[in-house]
Structure 1
Amino acid sequence: MEMNGWIIYNGYLRGSKFLDFAEWLQEAARQKEVTTSIWKNSELLAYLADQKPTLLHVNDHHLPEFVIFTDKDIYLANQLEQMGIRVYNSSDAIRVSDDKILTYQALSSQNLPIPKTVIAPKVFTNDTDVDYAVCQQAIHTLGLPLIMKEAFGSFGEQVYLVHTEVELEKKAKSLQGKAFIFQEFIVSSYGRDMRLHVVGDEVVAAMVRTASDDFRANVTAGGTMQAYQPTDKEIAIAVAATKAIGADFAGVDLLFGTDGNPIICEINSNAHIRNMFDCTKVNVADYIIDYIIDMQKGLFQ
């Protein structure tokens, strides 16, 4: 069965890692005799009029059977879905994953382990006075130190560890107009976490990340990596977390709880895979392509 797909990435982002991810997927597809082409999101302009959704300057006969969407442009992903194209991951999964508040709400609704979290009320402008009563409630509920985390951010950025009430109020002021949360600080996982890469119903690769001088363990922030064999419980939680946001595949970050039990930190619907390969020698792209082949075959049976 011949298959034809697109791999879409964001060409506006700096650095080569985004194209690199797309090229890894394309090479894995080539080895499985699946034809793919790589596109920047800026090369596929969604067009809306009094007709079905379409793309500018793309003939319907040249549309793919599936799309691997490595970007967060959920409007384009949704447009492709409305055109009847299967998108991996779906626009809704990307939307939930990209918004940490929606992520934690989805996880909590499935009774999955997350840090205790207080959602900051929505503020529309950055010139509004801080409601210090909200800060006090967060401290009373979560204690100090605590984490303040913007709803939108990647690579461990937009995450802050605050130690004092003064520091918390100052940070709250700087975040006015942005969506953010207050979150319990898991001290037992300081500078250490695990990344489990889920594809379908299995964890295909895992590593522990450690930072020597930062509470965040992200490799892009200077952390080191070590291959890891997750426990059955960690695997079950990572797979359940991926399903909770509706993703086909994802990088799930787990914290080490004080009682030894894993706690979900974040889920990345378009987690890059080069670091995982460098650490474990497992090419996650192979598993993603195999999964898509199986899913596409199922659509036509």
Structure 2
Amino acid sequence: MGKPNGWIIYNGNSTHEKFYNLVKWIDTVAHEKGLETELIKNNELVVSMENGKSIIKGKHEGKALPDFVIFWDKDIYLAKHLEKMGLKLYNSASAIEVCDDKALTHQALADNSVPMPKTVIGPKVFYKVSSLENYENIADEIGFPMIIKEAFGSFGQQVYLIQNYDEMIEKVKEIGNKPHLFQEMIESSYGKDVRLHVVGGKVVASMLRTSEVDFRANVSNGGKMHRYTPSEAEKQLAIHASLAVGASFAGVDLLFGPNDEPIVCEVNSNAHMKNIFDCTGIDVTEYIIDFILEDLQNR
């Protein structure tokens, strides 16, 4: 039996060099550990349905399918299509879909009794907000200050700190028909959180992020990274959250509750690894590839 071969799928329309550098990093580690992998842009694979079957056309039409796919994109339609064709994806299409949509994330966490900020999913808006009659109920439920998050967003973007009802209504009108949610502000965690990387049900790396200039601690927003040893409660919660969304590996962000109890903020199925490598020297990519190798051997 030859080496397992796989595709590493990434977004072909991304203009950020850091995204390509990340998948190239994964590809390099995979080859070092004995896998035959190929970098594939999502738009190279033409998603097609013909004669009652899901097939792939385009550049890879007629070629042998891989043994597995490392799906480093958020093209959910493509991910589900590949699974319909019988391919094993890391992470699964379902896990990526749930993590990409913050509303679905918190529903999945709630279904599994995972501690998180009080959350209200914003009502569906088709074109623009034309009725404000029920937003007072949301304000009463969450209180101020509150956090409004667009359901789709990365690196702490599309997350807003709201101080009062007028600001809330202004932001709701600005967001318009984009899905969003309302959350209580965990003031005890203002400008700080913990990122834990979970792989195969184990915490393999962690760091503390702090900001002196923003309520968000994301490094992309000016936050600073610090080495951090998580408590057993933090590790178990991160693992629980990862399992709740069905992820084989994930970056789990935890907030500090009023008594320093951990609270889940977000779960990222395609968490970037460079920052935590720069902070700790731990290469999470190696753990991911080792997990995939073991999983393939056990199939």
Name the TM tier (shorter chain): over 0.9
TM-score normalised to structure 2 length: 0.97
1:207 is matched with 207
Cα distance in 1 for residues equivalent to 2:220 and 2:15? 14
2:26 is matched with 25
Cα distance in 1 for residues equivalent to 2:121 and 2:79? 28
1:138 is matched with 138
2:123 matches 1:84: no
Alignment of 1:165-204 (within 5 A): 165-204=165-204
1:148 is matched with 148
Alignment of 1:39-188 (within 5 A): 39-57=40-58, 58-126=60-128, 128-131=129-132, 133-188=133-188
2:4 matches 1:15: no
Cα distance in 2 for residues equivalent to 1:228 and 1:50? 54
Cα distance in 1 for residues equivalent to 2:194 and 2:298? 33
Q: How many pairs align?
A: 297
Deviates more, 1:151-160 or 1:5-14: 5-14
Q: Quote how far apart the aligned CAs of 1:121 are.
A: 1.0
Answer whether contact 1:130 1:176 (CA < 8 A) is retained. no
SS in structure 1 of the partner of residue 295 of structure 2: helix
Question: Which residue identity is paired with 2:120?
Answer: V
SS in structure 2 of the partner of residue 26 of structure 1: helix
Alignment of 1:182-261 (within 5 A): 182-261=182-261
Deviates more, 1:238-247 or 1:49-58: 49-58
Cα distance in 2 for residues equivalent to 1:44 and 1:172? 37
1:272 is matched with 272
Q: Quote how far apart the aligned CAs of 1:60 are.
A: 4.9
Answer whether contact 1:130 1:172 (CA < 8 A) is retained. no
Q: Quote how far apart the aligned CAs of 1:176 are.
A: 2.1
Structure 1: 4+ residue segments shifted above 6 A: none
- How large is the RMSD of aligned CA atoms in angstroms? 1.1
Cα distance in 1 for residues equivalent to 2:11 and 2:221? 22
Q: Quote how far apart the aligned CAs of 1:275 are.
A: 0.7
Structure 1 residue ranges without an equivalent (≥5): none
SS in structure 2 of the partner of residue 56 of structure 1: strand
SS in structure 2 of the partner of residue 182 of structure 1: strand
Answer whether contact 1:130 1:173 (CA < 8 A) is retained. no
SS in structure 1 of the partner of residue 134 of structure 2: helix
Answer whether contact 1:225 1:279 (CA < 8 A) is retained. yes
Q: Quote how far apart the aligned CAs of 1:172 are.
A: 1.1
Deviates more, 1:110-119 or 1:134-143: 134-143
Cα distance in 2 for residues equivalent to 1:98 and 1:174? 21
SS in structure 2 of the partner of residue 148 of structure 1: strand
Deviates more, 1:108-117 or 1:1-10: 1-10
Q: Quote how far apart the aligned CAs of 1:212 are.
A: 1.2
Question: Which residue identity is paired with 1:69?
Answer: F
Quickly say closer, same or farther: Cα 1:212–1:130, change in 2 above 3 A.
farther
Q: Deviations over 1:74-132 (max 9, x none)?
A: 11111111111100001111111011001001001111100001111111112x3142x
Cα distance in 2 for residues equivalent to 1:298 and 1:210? 40
Q: Deviations over 1:49-70 (max 9, x none)?
A: 1142111142555211000011
Cα distance in 1 for residues equivalent to 2:83 and 2:159? 32
Answer whether contact 1:202 1:239 (CA < 8 A) is retained. yes
